[in-house]
Amino acid sequence: MDRILIRGGNRLAGRLPISGAKNAALTLMPCALLTDEPLTLRNLPRLADVDSFGHLLNQLGASTQIEGARPEDFGRVMTVRAGRLTATEAPYDIVRKMRASILVLGPLVGRAGEATVSLPGGCAIGNRPIDLHLKALEEMGAAIELAAGYVKATAPGGRLPGGRVSFPVVSVGATENAVMAAVTAKGGTRIENAAREPEIVDLCNCLVAMGASISGIGTETLEIEGRDRLHGATYRVMPDRIEAGSYACAAAITGGSLDLVGADAGDMRATLDALIEAGVTIEEHKDGVRVEASNGLAPLTLSTAPYPGFATDMQAQFMAMLCKANGASVLTETIFENRYMHVPELARMGADIQVRGRTAVVRGVDKLVGAPVMATDLRASMSLILAGLAAEGETVVQRVYHLDRGYERLEEKLSAVGADIERVGDG
């Protein structure tokens, strides 16, 4: 397995390109299942999860053709053609490796009137059930059967009637599945307490480009009129607000100055506001966001929350950054029950962090010391990279396959702005 070596202490400076958003790509790709015409996605990031999702689509009978990037994009172009589906099942061996596979459930029911998806099982950050996905489909008229680790959803007469979906808890994935199932339902669907993440806005905008009828986009109440069929489209994936936020933390923790080219400040307001409160200078411009940190970091009190609140996907990265703040910070993780796997690894680098239940108290230390550390999940891995950038000496991050799921060309992008970082294989 590959490892990443970092010799810390360098101040990062320069332009860093932001790729297309992983969590938008993973909900835009299954939209292709909703039509027999081609869906072309631009600015698609080069990530392991995107490749895995492409393989899943191939298993369902869709073709995925990759072209190079257009000059105005950082990511590749992929055209997905689902002219004729040959299967409506997402098997366990794919789902267990990538939870986002569950996002074929809604579009398969919407296109083929049925879907069989392996239950995803838990992951490092929590047990992550799918009850809200199934509740939404039932409220739209689907029959749900659970057996032998699989869930089967069936639309009566092959097409969902539609209905009123009311989420007791905000769920990004369940909202995405509900939207993708509703756009070709027989009647209308109202979704209440919908998640409002920018990736869901991207999903709705892509579906509208394909002929869907959705109103209330970006709000917690979506009204969707089912269409008999959708047509193909070409759609550009939004920039990755979590990647951009992660590299903003890299500038902050190294006292550096990074120009995040392609970042959209409008998608990351809570992250930028927190950085400003920590004393970081933020300058928004037409090509992206410039982040400058030169006079130390102030401690913060932060709670994660659904969008537009502070993103849970930014918690681990801020924790690493706040290990170098002048004082004690308090972080509360309200979304996932086990998203502090990075804490013991940061502690091995000299961090002073006390976790009690969902709350972590992070006391800033004068220095972090490089050490061999283990990645456990995607964003925890990034927090170790960030700590390594600021630590004295060498940090070796193992199990970097976690990173490859969500950060495109990480060591290339960081080397280009002055980090002393390299990937070494075990080969």
Q: Is 128 or 363 the residue whose CB approaches ligand EPZ more closely?
A: 128
The upper half-sphere exposure of residue 424, i.e. CA atoms within 13 Å in the direction of its Cβ, equals 9
Is-catalytic flag, 323? no
Q: Is 51 or 420 the residue whose CB approaches ligand EPZ more closely?
A: 51
- DSSP for 232-265, please give it: -EEEEPPB-HHHHHHHHHHHHHTT-EEEEET--G
Q: State the catalytic residue, choosing from 123, 206, 249, 323.
A: 123
CB of 364 to ligand EPZ, least distance (A): 25
User: Is residue 379 a contact residue for ligand EPZ (CB under 6 A)?
Assistant: yes
User: Is residue 336 a contact residue for ligand EPZ (CB under 6 A)?
Assistant: yes
Query: Residues 19, 23, 40, 381: which binds ligand EPZ (CB under 6 A)?
Result: 23
Choose one: 50-58, 125-133, 268-276, 286-294; the region binding ligand EPZ (CB under 6 A): 125-133
User: Is residue 105 a contact residue for ligand EPZ (CB under 6 A)?
Assistant: no
For the beta carbon of residue 391, count every other beta carbon within 10 angstroms: 26
Q: Is 131 or 192 the residue whose CB approaches ligand EPZ more closely?
A: 131
For the beta carbon of residue 75, count every other beta carbon within 10 angstroms: 26
- 156 three-state secondary structure: helix
Residue with tokens 């994936």: 237
User: Is residue 101 a contact residue for ligand EPZ (CB under 6 A)?
Assistant: no
Please give the size of the binding site for ligand EPZ, defined by CB under 6 A.
Answer: 24
How far, in Å, CA of 95 to CA of 118, rounded?
6
CB of 309 to ligand EPZ, least distance (A): 10
Query: Residues 132, 179, 203, 268: which binds ligand EPZ (CB under 6 A)?
Result: 132
User: Is residue 313 a contact residue for ligand EPZ (CB under 6 A)?
Assistant: yes
Q: Is 23 or 154 the residue whose CB approaches ligand EPZ more closely?
A: 23
User: Is residue 146 a contact residue for ligand EPZ (CB under 6 A)?
Assistant: no
Query: Residues 29, 56, 94, 130: which binds ligand EPZ (CB under 6 A)?
Result: 130
Q: What is the largest CA-CA distance in the chain?
A: 66
Choose one: 130-138, 223-231, 276-284, 293-301; the region binding ligand EPZ (CB under 6 A): 130-138
- DSSP for 15-46, please give it: EEE--B-HHHHHHHGGGGGG-SS-EEEEEE--
- 6 three-state secondary structure: strand
User: Is residue 342 a contact residue for ligand EPZ (CB under 6 A)?
Assistant: no
Cis preceding linkage at 308, omega within 30: yes
Residues 181-210 binding ligand EPZ (CB under 6 A) are: 195
- 57 three-state secondary structure: helix
Residue with tokens 């101040």: 11
Give the DSSP H or E segment for 2: none
Q: Is 61 or 129 the residue whose CB approaches ligand EPZ more closely?
A: 129
* 348 Cβ contact list (under 8 Å, min separation 6): 371, 373
Query: Residues 9, 61, 91, 129: which binds ligand EPZ (CB under 6 A)?
Result: 129
How far, in Å, CA of 189 to CA of 179, rounded?
9
User: Is residue 26 a contact residue for ligand EPZ (CB under 6 A)?
Assistant: yes
74 close to 18: Cβ distance less than 8 angstroms:
yes
How far, in Å, CA of 249 to CA of 272, rounded?
10
Q: Is 21 or 325 the residue whose CB approaches ligand EPZ more closely?
A: 21
CB of 197 to ligand EPZ, least distance (A): 6
Residue 285 corresponds to which tokens in the numbers above?
């411009």
Q: Is 293 or 318 the residue whose CB approaches ligand EPZ more closely?
A: 318
How far, in Å, CA of 32 to CA of 62, rounded?
8
Beta strand 13-17 with 257-261 is parallel
CB of 420 to ligand EPZ, least distance (A): 26
User: Is residue 133 a contact residue for ligand EPZ (CB under 6 A)?
Assistant: yes
Query: Residues 32, 252, 378, 380: which binds ligand EPZ (CB under 6 A)?
Result: 378
Binding site for ligand EPZ (CB under 6 A): 22-23, 26, 100, 126, 128-133, 169, 171-174, 195, 312-313, 335-336, 378-379, 406
Catalytic residues: 123
